[in-house]
Amino acid sequence: MTAPRMKAVLVLFSLFILLPSGFASALPWYGLDTARGLPAARDAKRPLINGTFIQLVDEHNGWSRARWERLFDAFKAIGLNQIVVQWSQLDSTAFYTVGPPGAAPPPIETILQLAQQGGMEVHLGLVAESRYWEMIKQAPTGQEQYLERLRLKSEAVARHVSPIASRYTAFKGWYIPEEIDDFTWRPPASKRLLYRHLKQLSASLKKTIPGTAVTLSCFCNARMDPAGYEEFWRDLLRETSIDAILFQDAAGGGKLPPDLLPLYLKAARSAADANRKKLQVIVELFTMVSESPFKAIPAPFQRLRLQLQTAAEFASGGINSFSVPDYMSPEGSAAARELYDSYLKYRSDSAPLI
């Protein structure tokens, strides 16, 4: 180190020592590691997306290998290392079955192959049903019957998929597509049914391929207070074999006010920590313009930067996204390409710190 540079570092260090307690932590833009008074790594000030969901639809069954490769090249360029396939079967459409001779390989196997080549991990979703939200509105007896049928379907799909998944070291676990809201399961009887359902399903999945993780996502509309929300998840994680909560940040749908989000993220993180489980935050890359039918456009990049800052404060298991293929991809719309390019610039060394 040259003498002038050494002198500059010593001046900065002296200023840091003289600052009142607590004041130094308000100066992240100096690039200091405030815990040690040393220059911080640039990436420490730039939260990054670790993964994305892939939401399979009928069209994906006909995708060529080249098209999948372009998508995974885009994933690699922005540093993704985790893929969550939202479901392996949607209603009666399966994405793991082999078609007739000459047909494209099933999407599940192609995703596993390309993820393994790219050094990424994959979590495979099970069965999703379009009628899920309608069916869980039933009285507890109806809820119980529906959850049992859905569990049996998911266990059957896991048995079908496991011979494929077990061939790839990229496969790291299962994702349960049944998103957990903070209203439906508030009644004690319904809550007990949910806990039992998830206990049975997660235990079964752990046996299907031993050593793999089981994850589950949730969203919050502030229908419970934060203390009640923490208790709900603390109990759920204690009674089941769920390894991680994937918390949707609601920025795209706008149903949870941004000023309330940290309260519920803190509650979820506390519940996860109490059970030695992980909390992953899903940043929504879209802005909803219509709820029924659902329609959305890519989010503005300035909003995404703020989402990443909040997510990084609470996530213990990384930051996921929904979803790069749909809203932040060079293969997508002009707005999706623009968001992708902005994120590429943001994560590069030449991008300004946030």
pLDDT tens digit string along 85-95? 999 999 999 99
The CATH number of whichever domain residue 211 belongs to comes to 3.20.20.80
Owning domain of residue 116: 43-347
Q: What pLDDT does 105 receive?
A: 85
Residue 83 lies in a domain: yes
What is the number of structural domains in the chain?
A: 2
pLDDT in tens, 192-223: 999 999 999 999 999 999 999 999 999 999 99
Residue 175 lies in a domain: yes
Tell me: do 183 and 109 sit in the same domain: yes
Tell me: do 255 and 226 sit in the same domain: yes
Strands of the chain, DSSP E = 32-33, 38-39, 51-54, 82-85, 89-90, 93-94, 121-125, 127-128, 171-180, 213-218, 244-248, 278-284, 286-291, 294-298, 319-322
Q: What pLDDT does 98 receive?
A: 77
pLDDT band at 127 (very low <50, low <70, confident <90, very high): very high
The arithmetic mean of pLDDT across residues 301-327, rounded, is 98
Tell me: do 112 and 154 sit in the same domain: yes
Residue 95 lies in a domain: yes
Q: What pLDDT does 41 receive?
A: 36
pLDDT in tens, 41-71: 334 569 999 999 999 999 999 999 999 999 9
Tell me: do 17 and 105 sit in the same domain: no
- Nearest 10 degrees: Cα torsion 269, 270, 276, 278: 0
Tell me: do 53 and 190 sit in the same domain: yes
Tell me: do 49 and 30 sit in the same domain: no
Tell me: do 98 and 202 sit in the same domain: yes
Tell me: do 153 and 18 sit in the same domain: no
Residue 352 lies in a domain: no
Query: Does the structure show a pLDDT above 50 at 133?
Result: yes
As a whole number, the mean pLDDT across the chain is 89
This prediction's pTM: 0.86
Query: Does the structure show a pLDDT above 60 at 249?
Result: yes
Residue in the structure block whose two tokens are 């710190």: 353
Residue 338 lies in a domain: yes
Looking at per-residue pLDDT, the higher value among 272 and 9 belongs to 272
Residue 52 lies in a domain: yes
Query: Does the structure show a pLDDT above 60 at 112?
Result: yes
| Burial class of residue 19 (count of CB atoms within 10 Å of its CB; 0-12, 13-18, 19+) | middle
How many angstroms separate the Cα of 6 from the Cα of each of 2, 12, 32, 38, 236? 6, 10, 16, 13, 53
pLDDT band at 99 (very low <50, low <70, confident <90, very high): confident
Query: Does the structure show a pLDDT above 50 at 5?
Result: no
Looking at per-residue pLDDT, the higher value among 254 and 243 belongs to 243
Residue 354 lies in a domain: no
Tell me: do 189 and 98 sit in the same domain: yes
Q: What pLDDT does 39 receive?
A: 32
What is the spatial distance between Cα 328 and Cα 301, in angstroms, rounded to a whole number? 10
Q: What pLDDT does 353 receive?
A: 53
Residue in the structure block whose two tokens are 């968001």: 339
Residue 137 lies in a domain: yes
Tell me: do 191 and 130 sit in the same domain: yes
Tell me: do 67 and 131 sit in the same domain: yes
Contact of 242 with 218, CB cutoff 8 Å: no
Contact of 108 with 168, CB cutoff 8 Å: no
Q: What pLDDT does 104 receive?
A: 76
Tell me: do 26 and 47 sit in the same domain: no
